[in-house]
């Protein structure tokens, strides 16, 4: 990289909010332009959770232009309540299905300079790049720059099913199993027979953003209460974060929150996000009183039909191999997880220790299996 390029590191929240103007401008030029890397998402995350972690956001600047941004944080973890170690990880990890590094120009050079910047320091033990999507350029670039950066480990992550959308709903329906296709139509007929008005609506057809997201959260929580589990939104902090994300996305036309109603009462909701010709299918919720109509499957089919109408190219089911997703598709990608170990002796001791513990666990599992 030319001598004019340099790295700036952002550690303070006030400094971070000064990046607003350049963030999405840089993201627009990046191949890794997904919705969880947008300023709207990242800034809302920092607003609600930024004080809990140390910001380690790197920007590569060249000739008064930002050409790369690495949205990262540093976290301290404890091992057996005795030893602590420091991990550099994606900024919004655990709050998004995908992470990444924004590389707008000269991608391989920028990735190399970002990694080398950290490897010149000794205040961390591991870099974990979790949940890098398969569509990212990073898995392609890392082998190319591996000779100039310390070794890394790659571990395949969770499956992320997706559906390339056809030109018509008829084609989509024909691709479903005959039994599932029959049941979708049967449940819809039954619902329309028992209720005088059954409607499929986007949130802004009848509610404000805040009202809509609160109803969605209630439906989602009701579903999980039925299973005796807390649900995603059991904590008020997570609820407040989600409301603010929804508002920010709605201002850009990215919020695709849909409801299925019976006589104007919400039966089911599906929280999706529309960005760059892709629909990200998120969480769902439904009133348990309508579960015998399979309203979760009905609203998903309706949303897929709406995507086809809008000529969206892909429906991304995101993380998780839940069976309902594979009723609509057989294809999936896997996220990638990369781990780097600092050159410090203590970091390598932790690394060897983790591997030894993992090996012992595997041997115990294998031993129990062989006893049968």
Q: How far is CA 272 from CA 218, 234, 340, in A?
A: 16, 20, 33
Helix, strand, coil content of the chain in percent (nearest 5): 45, 30, 25
How would you class 26 by CB atoms within 10 Å of its CB: exposed for 0-12, middle for 13-18, buried for 19 or more?
buried
CATH of the domain at 243: 3.40.630.30
Give dist(CA 333, CA 137) in Å, integer: 14
42 and 142 share a domain?
A: yes
Q: Please tell me the predicted confidence (pLDDT) of residue 3.
A: 58
173 and 136 share a domain?
A: no
Q: Please tell me the predicted confidence (pLDDT) of residue 360.
A: 60
The number of CA neighbours under 13 Å toward the Cβ of 24 is: 12
109 and 53 share a domain?
A: yes
- In what order do the strands lie in the sheet containing 5-10? 5-10, 57-62, 65-70, 102-103
Per-residue burial over 197-226, b = 16 or more CB atoms within 10 Å of its CB, e = otherwise: ebebbbbeeebebeebbbbbbebbbebeee
175 and 299 share a domain?
A: yes
Which residues partner with 339 through β-bridges?
128, 153
Give dist(CA 335, CA 135) in Å, integer: 9
The number of helices, as runs of H, and strands, as runs of E, in the chain is 11, 15
How would you class 167 by CB atoms within 10 Å of its CB: exposed for 0-12, middle for 13-18, buried for 19 or more?
exposed
Domain that includes residue 87, residue range:
5-158+334-341
299 and 217 share a domain?
A: yes
78-87's contacts with Cβ under 8 Å and 24+ in sequence apart are 79/350, 79/353, 83/350, 85/125, 85/126, 85/347, 85/350, 86/123, 86/124, 86/125, 86/126, 87/124, 87/125, 87/126, 87/127, 87/128
In a domain? residue 65 = yes
132 and 226 share a domain?
A: no
- Domain count within the chain: 2
Classify the phi-psi angles of 254: left when phi > 0, otherwise alpha if psi is within -120 to 50, otherwise beta.
Answer: alpha
106 and 250 share a domain?
A: no
206 and 64 share a domain?
A: no
Measuring CA to CA, which residue among 315, 217, 334 is closest to residue 266?
217
Measuring CA to CA, which residue among 208, 233, 236 is closest to residue 284?
233
| Secondary element (H or E) of residue 301 | helix 295-309
Which residues partner with 257 through β-bridges?
271
170 and 150 share a domain?
A: no
Q: Please tell me the predicted confidence (pLDDT) of residue 370.
A: 45
In a domain? residue 366 = no
102 and 223 share a domain?
A: no
| 79: number of Cβ within 10 Å | 12
Q: Please tell me the predicted confidence (pLDDT) of residue 371.
A: 47
Which residues partner with 78 through β-bridges?
84
Contact predicate 208/243, CB 8 Å: no
In a domain? residue 110 = yes
In a domain? residue 356 = no
Give dist(CA 283, CA 281) in Å, integer: 7
Global pTM exceeds 0.85: yes
In a domain? residue 248 = yes
In a domain? residue 353 = no
Contact predicate 327/301, CB 8 Å: no
Q: List the chain pLDDT tens, one digit each, 372 residues.
A: 445 889 999 999 999 999 998 999 999 999 899 999 999 999 999 999 998 889 999 999 998 899 999 999 999 998 777 789 999 999 999 999 999 999 999 999 999 999 999 999 999 999 999 999 999 999 999 888 877 666 788 899 999 999 999 999 999 999 999 999 999 999 999 999 999 999 999 999 988 999 999 999 999 998 788 777 888 888 899 999 999 999 999 999 999 999 999 999 999 999 999 999 999 998 999 999 999 999 999 999 999 999 999 999 999 999 999 999 999 999 999 999 999 999 888 888 888 877 776 666 554 544 444 444
209 and 307 share a domain?
A: yes
Measuring CA to CA, which residue among 154, 66, 141 is closest to residue 339?
154
> Residues, the chain, total?
372
| 352: number of Cβ within 10 Å | 11
3-state secondary structure of 266: strand
């Amino acid at each position: 990289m030319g001598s004019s390029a340099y790295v700036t590191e952002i550690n303070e929240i006030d400094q971070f909010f000064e990046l607003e103007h350049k963030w999405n401008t840089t993201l627009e030029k990046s191949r890794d332009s997904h919705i969880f890397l947008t300023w709207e998402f990242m800034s809302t995350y920092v607003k609600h959770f930024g004080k809990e972690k140390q910001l380690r956001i790197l920007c590569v600047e060249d000739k008064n232009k930002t050409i790369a941004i690495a949205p990262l944080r540093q976290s301290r973890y404890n091992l057996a309540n005795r030893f602590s170690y420091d991990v550099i990880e994606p900024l919004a990890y655990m709050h998004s299905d995908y992470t990444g590094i924004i590389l707008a120009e000269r991608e391989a050079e920028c990735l190399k300079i970002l990694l080398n910047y950290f490897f010149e320091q000794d205040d961390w033990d591991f870099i974990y790049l979790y949940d890098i999507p398969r569509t990212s350029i990073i898995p392609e670039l890392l082998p190319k720059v591996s000779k100039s950066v310390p070794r890394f480990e790659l571990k395949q992550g969770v499956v992320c099913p997706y559906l390339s959308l056809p030109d018509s709903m008829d084609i989509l329906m024909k691709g479903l199993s005959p039994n599932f296709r029959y049941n979708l139509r049967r449940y819809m007929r039954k619902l329309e027979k028992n209720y005088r008005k059954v409607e499929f609506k986007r949130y802004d057809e009848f509610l404000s953003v805040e009202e809509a997201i609160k109803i969605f959260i209630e439906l989602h929580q009701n579903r999980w209460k039925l299973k005796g589990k807390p649900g995603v939104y059991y904590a008020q902090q997570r609820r407040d974060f989600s409301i603010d994300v929804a508002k920010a996305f709605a201002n850009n036309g990215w919020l695709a929150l849909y409801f299925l109603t019976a006589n104007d009462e919400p039966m089911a909701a599906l929280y999706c996000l529309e960005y760059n010709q892709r629909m990200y299918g998120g969480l769902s919720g439904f009133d348990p009183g309508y579960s015998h109509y399979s309203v979760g499957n009905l609203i998903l089919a309706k949303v897929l039909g709406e995507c086809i109408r809008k000529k969206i190219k892909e429906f991304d089911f995101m993380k998780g191999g839940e069976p309902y997703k594979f009723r609509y598709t057989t294809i999936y990608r896997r996220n990638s997880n990369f781990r780097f170990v600092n050159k410090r002796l203590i970091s390598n001791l932790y690394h060897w220790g983790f591997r030894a513990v993992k090996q012992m666990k595997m041997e115990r599992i294998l031993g129990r299996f062989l006893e049968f």
